[in-house]
Structure 1
């Protein structure tokens, strides 16, 4: 049996999230209003909905490939389980041309993912690992 995700429409014009296919990981999120993003500019795009995530889960807002192809990317997409406000999608235009989004356009996808929340434990040192402190570019190209 599939669990439901409680969703509240905050605006009559809002579109509920959808999946194009039953086995898609993400729920498509829709713009409540249109916006034009100049090159190098960002916008907070409202969806007109609020959600009630299950305890022990996080909502992650991810790019849609159709927007990424146009140079539009999402930023800062973490929704905590206790958040009950309007879902917004921060979109940044990294292309060289202005990009427009219309009301009702799909602007991101919501992934509902289980999350662990361990307590912070300060230690004097960390255990060794095969990788060690190797970071950016340490494994080659």
Structure 2
């Protein structure tokens, strides 16, 4: 199954790489920082980092913004609100909410890979109000209820 997603490079960002997969079977498209100057992300700090692009996707798709595993492992850099959702009707600039969970400051440079964007199919769902729900073995057991540790 294939979908066409339009991408628009915003003015002033002609030098920013367009999102791309870094291997043939990768699921995510890497996103690049469109910062005008280097930004320093201190430990415990969060920043909204522009990518210099906007997209238009058909209904029935969403784009999810996720951390890059290498940045997370090596530097403690992750995306808050992860995965972040971009709805099919959003046409603004894609921005990435980065957080530094590491112990050292991290410098974000222009055109540096900062996150990845994965497209997902969104099923058509109809919510139906009922007076009671069907029973299950788990029932209303919440966080940690199904495990023993």
Cα distance between partner residues in 2 of 1:51 and 1:109: 14
Could you list the runs of 5+ residues in structure 2 that have no partner in the other structure?
A: none
2:17 — aligned with what? 15
Cα distance between partner residues in 2 of 1:82 and 1:88: 16
- Residue 72 of structure 1 pairs with residue 77 of structure 2: yes
- Residue 140 of structure 1 pairs with residue 126 of structure 2: no
TM-score of the pair, normalised by structure 1 = 0.92
Cα distance between partner residues in 2 of 1:5 and 1:85: 14
RMSD between aligned residues: 1.6
The 1:115–1:3 alpha-carbon spacing in structure 2 relative to 1, beyond 3 Å, is closer
2:5 — aligned with what? 5
Moved over 4 A (4+): none
Could you list the runs of 5+ residues in structure 1 that have no partner in the other structure?
A: none
- Residue 35 of structure 1 pairs with residue 39 of structure 2: yes
TM-score of the pair, normalised by structure 2 = 0.87
Q: Deviations over 1:23-48 (max 9, x none)?
A: 10000000011321111110001000
Cα distance between partner residues in 1 of 2:138 and 2:29: 36
Report SS of the residue matched to 1:86: coil
